[in-house]
Amino acid sequence: MRIATGVGYANGMKEAAERVATLESAGIDIVWVAEAYGVDAVSLMGYLAAVTERIQIGSSILPIYTRTPSLLAMTAAGVDLLSDGRCILGLGASGPQVIEGFHGVPYDAPLGRTREVIEICRKVWRREPVEHDGRYYSLPLAEGQGTGLGKPLKLITHPVRDRIPIYLAALGPKNVELTAELADGWMPTLFWPERAAEVWGESLAEGRAERPADLGPLEVVAGGAVAIGEGLEHLRDRARPGIALYVGGMGARERNFYNQLFRRYGFEAEAELIQDLYLAGRKEEAAAAVPQAFLDATSLVGPESFVRERIEAYRDAGVTVLNVSVDGPDTVTTLEKVKNWAS
């Protein structure tokens, strides 16, 4: 397995870039830059390209609604050029609260839009003329709309690669099926290794049955917090607030994809309780209601034997990129150990 980690930039983008340079020296293979409704991800991705030499730089994620497909392709081509071919274009639908609430764009047809974005991006990178003949990104030419002067254009510059990896963040059955069919990689959230096949196995199999041979195997990116040592089990509780946020508050009551996933894991009552508490403003109680079994199964925090066991569980579940965040002061040493055990 390759090793990846996310980079936060709340304390400054330049400081984050210095940290990534250190991570690169520790052997990290991929660094992910998030984009929600703060600073955009691409600015930092470009900066990272200038201060690193080997590490791959991925977006995790750019929402498909906030940029046109052609701009997404141009953006990835730009980061790929700056980094000499180290960009990963991580895409996802995000959710209605961000897309409609922050961006003011209708959250509609995520599956159809994702498929078209992938097709258009790959067409742009191949420098083929782009014709918007799909369902969701066609220019409407009804009376009063458009000029009728649009023409197929191809990318002026020559990309470093005509095939930049596209990784999709997907949770629902149809989204995962689409990912297995068309994407280079899959980035599931709240991934439980022992229950992944039960939840997503059928969707993955159906998607892979339609997967073009030239795509190669699907990369799977998953993991969790890591800290190695005796008596550290209490650190697993640090994941509670984040899980409660996703399961309880990331979306309206009937449109929370993470809550639906928790129910599919078998936590029907817990998912309902966490959501009720979180939406009532009782966030600490919601965090306390996160099942200990889930925390233990999705953590890499504990004695060396436990961490190595969990790494093997992720490997057995088909994970090819172990995505970790170090919980502790000795980041470099911890990551070197994890990389050694995962290789």
Q: Which amino acid is at 19?
A: R
Q: pLDDT tens-digit profile of 281-322?
A: 999 999 999 999 999 999 999 999 999 999 999 999 999 999
* DSSP secondary structure of 291-317: -HHHHHHT-EEESHHHHHHHHHHHHHT
Q: pLDDT tens-digit profile of 55-76?
A: 999 999 999 999 999 999 999 9
CATH T-level topology, domain 2-224+314-342: TIM Barrel (3.20.20)
* 193 contacts 297 by C-beta, under 8 angstroms: yes
Q: Where in the chain is the domain with CATH 3.20.20.30?
A: 2-224+314-342
Which residue shows structure tokens 């990551």?
Answer: 335
Give the closest residue to 193 by CA, choosing from 285, 70, 323. 323
Residue 325, phi then psi, degrees to nearest 5: -130, 130
Distance of CA 288 to the CA centre of its chain: 26
Strands 166-168 and 87-92 come out as parallel
Q: How far apart are CA 66 and CA 101, in angstroms?
A: 12
* DSSP secondary structure of 40-89: -HHHHHHHHHHH-SS-EEEES-EETTSS-HHHHHHHHHHHHHHTTS-EEE
pLDDT 10s digit of each residue in the chain, 343 long? 999 999 988 778 889 899 899 899 888 999 999 998 889 999 999 999 999 999 999 999 999 999 999 999 999 999 999 999 999 999 999 988 889 999 999 999 999 999 999 999 999 999 999 987 777 876 554 455 666 667 889 999 999 999 999 999 999 999 999 999 999 999 999 999 999 999 999 999 999 999 999 999 999 999 999 999 999 999 999 999 999 999 999 877 888 989 999 999 999 999 999 999 999 999 999 999 999 999 999 999 999 999 999 999 999 999 999 999 987 778 889 999 999 999 8
The model's pTM is 0.94
* 64 contacts 110 by C-beta, under 8 angstroms: yes
* pLDDT above 90 as % of the chain: 80
Residues 235-249 as b or e (16 or more Cβ within 10 Å = b): bbebbbeebbbbbbb
